Amino acid sequence: MIVLGVETSCDETAVAIVEDGKKILADVVYSQIDIHKLYGGVVPEIASRKHIAKIISVFDEAFKQAGKTASDIDLVAVTTHPGLIGSLLVGINAAYAFSLANSIPCIGVDHIYGHIYANYVEADFKFPTLALVVSGGHTELVLMRDHYDFSVLGETMDDAVGEAYDKVARVMGLPYPGGVMVDNLACEYKREPLYHLPIYDSDDYNFSFSGVKSAVLNLLNKCHMKGEDVNFHALSYAFQDTVTNVLVKKTVKAALEYNVKQVIVAGGVAANKGLRARLSDAIRKLDSVELVFPKFRYCTDNAVMIAVAGYFQKLTSDKQQS
Ligand code: KG4
Ligand code: ZN
């Protein structure tokens, strides 16, 4: 089955063509980051306008890359939610128009399921598998007992982890999106910890990151008022250490409780070097649990993950109907 994936939920205009959920025939992403950087975050109105300007050429480029034509496509999969409504509409309209014009079925895909299926490019799923979703808009622990069978064990009660990273970066004066820069500063810090930050911790699988984010803000304000210098490397290290600690602890607890065979990590923060190192150490200690991270390219928004998720969504619904 050859699936055409379309993703425009935020600030990436992306189209991909993937065969049988694994073989990537085309992968085109046009990123608007440089434009939104000027405003310190994504401006929804600009994002949807840019999607409109780019979507046709991104479609064309994908078909050129794959060496395929419309008649080769068996299914169109497009992100329908969650995301910026104006941005989503551009991808949905383009995908649906393409599907109508060529009489190809079109299905809507949940963006978060897409992030989860970015892992399938790396490794087959071994059920039960536990997904740690750490994106710009979501933080969840999701148990999967089969393909397209998702049970949310816990989620953030306030900020998503990526959102907290970006806000911390912003108050430190780093450009958008700052998550990766906080990660880089944290990894460069090799001395004794200078700062200690509080974080919400609990026995369940829910998360909260607004407290630790506010603690960074308060620390910066206090230092500013006292005229003290802040060591941004040490502060990034403290933030990353505190956040990854909780993420890893809850992931390990859930992996043990649900006897999972595999842990997969999804969303933009799956690119975080500190989280990768820490989670790798912790999962290595568990007996026969495989850890999978998507390639860096597939951690942030792309259409390959939507095509793969769409493929499994279709297989699962066909199975249920037969
Ligand atoms: O998953 P994603 O595309 O967003 C949503 O779908 O919501 O990921 C974007 C988020 C941004 O918040 C970005 O700062 C964060 O992922 N991010 C990182 C890193 N790379 C991307 N956060 C921490 N460390 C990184 N290396
Ligand atoms: Zn995303």
Q: Are residues 163 and 281 both part of a single domain? A: yes
Tell me the β-bridge partners of 77: 5, 107
Q: Are residues 51 and 135 both part of a single domain? A: no
Tens digit of each residue's pLDDT (9 = 90 or more) over 188-198: 999 999 999 99
**What residues pack around ion ligand 2 (CB closer than 5 A)?**
135, 301
Contact indicator for 52, 45 with CB cutoff of 8 Å: no
| Stretch 136-158: mean pLDDT | 97
Cα–ligand 1 centroid distance for 52 (angstroms): 24
| Stretch 3-31: mean pLDDT | 97
Q: Are residues 60 and 143 both part of a single domain? A: no
User: By residue range, what is the domain housing residue 184?
Assistant: 124-293
Cα–Cα distance measured from residue 191 to residue 3, given in angstroms and rounded to the nearest whole number: 49
Cα–Cα distance measured from residue 189 to residue 147, given in angstroms and rounded to the nearest whole number: 40
> Could you report how far apart the first and last alpha carbons of the chain are, in Å?
18
Cα–ligand 1 centroid distance for 47 (angstroms): 17
Cα–Cα distance measured from residue 23 to residue 255, given in angstroms and rounded to the nearest whole number: 29
Block residue for tokens 């089969």 = 146
177 band by pLDDT with thresholds 50, 70 and 90: confident
Tens digit of each residue's pLDDT (9 = 90 or more) over 40-90: 889 999 999 999 999 999 999 999 999 999 999 999 999 999 999 999 999
Contact indicator for 248, 206 with CB cutoff of 8 Å: no
Top mutation candidate among 156, 165, 293 for ligand 1, by most atoms within 8 Å of CB:
165
Over 90: is that where the pLDDT of 242 sits? yes
Q: Are residues 134 and 235 both part of a single domain? A: yes
Contact indicator for 17, 304 with CB cutoff of 8 Å: no
Q: Are residues 174 and 140 both part of a single domain? A: yes
Q: How many domains does the chain have?
A: 2
Q: Are residues 54 and 183 both part of a single domain? A: no
22 band by pLDDT with thresholds 50, 70 and 90: very high
Q: Buried (b) or exposed (e) across 132-164, using 16+ Cβ within 10 A?
A: bbbbbbbbbbbbbeebbebeebbebeebbbbbb
Contact indicator for 303, 13 with CB cutoff of 8 Å: no
Tell me the β-bridge partners of 151: 143
CATH number, residue 265: 3.30.420.40
* 162 within ligand 1 shell (Cβ under 6 A): yes
